[in-house]
Amino acid sequence: MTKLVHDTMDRPLHDLRISVTDRCNFRCPYCMPKETFGQDYEFLKRQELLTFEEIERLVRILANHGVRKVRLTGGEPLLRKSLDKLVTMLKQVPDLDLALTTNGALLASKATLLKNAGLNRVTVSLDSLNAETFALMSDVKLPVERVLQGIETATNVGLTPIKINMVVKAGINEHSILPMAHYFKGTGNVVRFIEYMDVGQTNGWRLDEVVSASKIIGLIDSELPLEPVSPGYRGEVARRWKYKDGTGEIGIITSVNQPFCGDCTRIRLSADGQLYTCLFATKGHNLLKLLRDGANDTEVSETISSIWKNRTDRYSEIRSSETVNLPKIEMSYIGG
């Protein structure tokens, strides 16, 4: 595998994803199929997780490397006890934009607490407005109305603009694309349609299950005319499109058909302190051990610098039938 031609100075570190737990209250086929994550699945023990103090320390060090956006993920981050305390701690780091990605099941009850703690924004995973399709994609009996209530509550308390992530899977929820666009058009919130990706080992991904970005855009544009929008910053993952009538915009994440490895400025930290330089990584770098073995901030910083400078990730650019079965970290473990 050849190293990316974009060096560290050309592609600075900017965005950190922190998985605060590997647990989830959904068993969706995309990242936590029940065949693998059943009732007897053994999740990480508390002592194996990074403490809030360890997370804050790493964020402060990473901020010195250019990180300005931090997103809390999982698993389902709202299952992590006292998450608002972590938010309060991280808001003490200067110039930090702090967001959270959730499936929305617990959002209505926790949105106000998180906003008061200092959270800026939320992203909610929602693959359909149709009850049967939603249940099929999430593999739970949770009413879709609970997720919508969470979005409404988060909007009302000011965790905006909210991004709604819809993974599109051929033959399962394609029919939900237009209803999702119509429902959120004009609300100020942004639906991001995501090409179904081959993350992890357990979702049984096939290329013929991918609905291309061009097809999604064509479908929406046929009823709700669109025009492209320039990226807001280098490394922005979603390609942006706005409605020609000025009532909002959508995003398209095209990891499969239009890879963006060369502009990626993102790094990921798992709940047990492994640092990953790619969503499709095959291995991480153990920062938890480094911290608990007594390394000082300079030593941790130098380790992170070396990891970032020497990364070789470009999975989405080289994706083929030969790469699909490479060992990869599960989405529930590494975060989105």
Token readout for 316 is 């989405």
Q: Express each pLDDT in 71-118 by its tens digit.
A: 999 889 999 999 999 999 999 999 999 999 999 999 999 999 999 999
Instruction: Match 């291309």 to its residue by tokens.
Output: 212
pTM attached to this predicted model: 0.84
Q: Express each pLDDT in 316-334 by its tens digit.
A: 545 555 555 665 566 666 6
Give me the chain's average pLDDT, please: 85
| Sheet of strand 285-286, all strands in order from the earlier edge strand to the far edge | 226-229, 239-243, 249-253, 190-195, 163-168, 121-125, 97-102, 69-73, 15-19, 266-269, 274-276, 285-286
Q: Express each pLDDT in 105-162 by its tens digit.
A: 999 999 999 999 999 999 999 999 999 999 998 888 889 999 999 999 999 999 999 9
Q: What's the CA gap between 16 and 98, in Å, rounded?
A: 10
Q: What's the CA gap between 331 and 205, in Å, rounded?
A: 13
Domain positions in the chain: 15-334
Instruction: Match 């790094």 to its residue by tokens.
Output: 267
Query: What superfamily in CATH does domain 15-334 come from?
Result: Aldolase class I (3.20.20.70)
